[in-house]
Amino acid sequence: MAQTITQKILAKAANRAFVDAGESVWLNVDILLTHDVCGPPTFDIFKEEFGADAKVWDPKKIVVLPDHYIFTANEHAHRNIDLLRQFAKEQGLENYYDVGTDRYKGVCHVALAEEGFNLPGTVLFGTDSHTCTSGAFGMFGTGIGNTDAAFILGTGKLWEKVPESMKFTFDGPMPEYLTAKDLILQILGDITTDGATYRAMEFDGEAIFSLPMEERMTLTNMAIEAGGMNGIIAADEITERYVRATSSKPYELFISDPDATYHSKYRYDVRKLEPVVAQPHSPDNRATVRSVQGTKITKSYIGSCTGGKLTDFVMAAKILKGQKVSVTTNIVPATVKVALDLECERYDGQTLKQIFEDAGCTIALPSCAACLGGPADTVGRSVDNDVVVSTTNRNFPGRMGSKHAGVYLASPLTAAASAITGKLTDPRDFL
């Protein structure tokens, strides 16, 4: 029977040859990811259900990456880091990346890739909705809550309903003014925030396979914004090159059968698409930048698992080189590695860091920071009636802090161009 890539990976994890969309199966989990917000309550449930002295199913398969509330004076946030540290020690978790040490990484979804945990054909569950990011590596990744994560901690298994798949094909070579962020915002506008609920979103086509891994991760990252269970892109030579550079572990490549069954198929020609934003207060509230250009903004924010990778900053630097920003512009590298790369990576003879500093941007320390608001002292948190253009993933009411603020989700090119003018600006004006 023909299967999609998602079915094939779940079939393997269920020790089956075939799984059908809609059936519930028990899966063997390859990696469980958690962080400082959901780790401590997950560990509490684990101890309550399996016993105070219980041991996790496999300490090598648990990855703990604190990233949400790191650079804050909030005492409860500090206590949560202490609880992670304590559990990691008790359980001998070698993949714990402690705050305040040289092991600290930053935003978990980007760090998972950098540290070689994303392997084609594997199954990842994480206590964060953006765990779907890892699907860019031809693997299954999805978010779960604390109770489900505690169940995995004790058993290494979880039930899941095999999703139907939706296919999104992007034809043509990517124009230089277009980014993966524009593609996913295009899809969101078309299918809305519950258009893929409980389904897999499979991305395909010439434009997709021309993208570097970081841009592919932007696409799969926002599958959850359409309600998707997972986003997935089959692994190719670009994927394998990235994986071989970060891991020596074995992996398995899967592709969808040509006659696999899809819930629906969408096809786009990227040469006909334009830079877009998602207007307040929903990721599906799409508009072309041209149609809302001139809207005044008070802040520009370039960061997060969606828009804080090296490729995002290279794009922003292309626009900001030799320019001055006219509103507060926060550059928040997702990880320590990205932050270090800003000092080495050059565009037109200057390091990215120098370009951003010369333009008047503020460079923050790597973490989730204001993407989700966070404690009151979080860098970049929106206040009062702020109007923010942001490379992050959500613009729900109050998401970046203030309930009265409005957030426009945009590509790094659009966020950088708008930072210069203080108004929503199409990046083609600067390219």
Partner 1 sequence: MEKIIQGKAYVLGKNIDTDQIIPAEHLVYSLSNPEEVKLYGKYALSGVPPDQGGLPAGNIPFIQEGRFDSDFTIIIGGPNFGCGSSREHAPFALKVAGIKAIIAESYARIFYRNSVDGGFVIPYETSEQLNQLINTGDELKIDVESNTLENLTSKATYTLKPLGDVFSIVEAGGIFAYARQENLMAQP
Which residues contact partner 1 (rule: CB under 8 A)? 24, 37-38, 40-41, 44, 49, 51, 68-69, 74, 76-77, 79-80, 126-129, 131, 143-148, 151, 154-155, 193-194, 197-198, 227, 229, 282, 372-376, 394, 396-399, 403
Q: What is the CA radius of gyration of the chain?
A: 21
Those residues with Cβ within 8 angstroms of residue 43's Cβ, 6 or more apart along the chain or in another chain: 83, 87, 150, 153
**Residue 160, both tokens:** 């899941």
Nearest CB to partner 1, comparing residues 35 and 318: 35
How far apart, in whole angstroms, are the C-alpha atoms of residue 196 and residue 218? 17
Q: How far is the CB of 129 from partner 1 (least distance, A)?
A: 4
Nearest CB to partner 1, comparing residues 8 and 68: 68
How far apart, in whole angstroms, are the C-alpha atoms of residue 308 and residue 320? 16
Nearest CB to partner 1, comparing residues 189 and 375: 375
Nearest CB to partner 1, comparing residues 114 and 148: 148
Nearest CB to partner 1, comparing residues 5 and 144: 144
Q: How far is the CB of 234 from partner 1 (least distance, A)?
A: 23
Paired residues of 174 in beta bridges: none
Paired residues of 166 in beta bridges: 201, 264
Nearest CB to partner 1, comparing residues 44 and 357: 44
- Full strand arrangement of the beta sheet holding 230-232: 230-232, 199-204, 164-171, 264-269
Nearest CB to partner 1, comparing residues 49 and 206: 49
Q: How far is the CB of 9 from partner 1 (least distance, A)?
A: 18
Give the strand pairing for 24-28 and 157-161. antiparallel
Amino acid at 123: V
Q: How far is the CB of 77 from partner 1 (least distance, A)?
A: 5
Cβ 253 vs Cβ 158: under 8 Å: no
Q: How far is the CB of 8 from partner 1 (least distance, A)?
A: 21
Nearest CB to partner 1, comparing residues 223 and 243: 223
Kindly report the number of other CB atoms within 10 A of residue 26's CB atom. 12
Cβ 306 vs Cβ 338: under 8 Å: no
CA 283 from chain centre, in angstroms, equals 14
Q: How far is the CB of 145 from partner 1 (least distance, A)?
A: 3
CB burial of residue 48 (10 Å; 0-12, 13-18, 19+): exposed
Q: How far is the CB of 386 from partner 1 (least distance, A)?
A: 15
Q: How far is the CB of 215 from partner 1 (least distance, A)?
A: 23
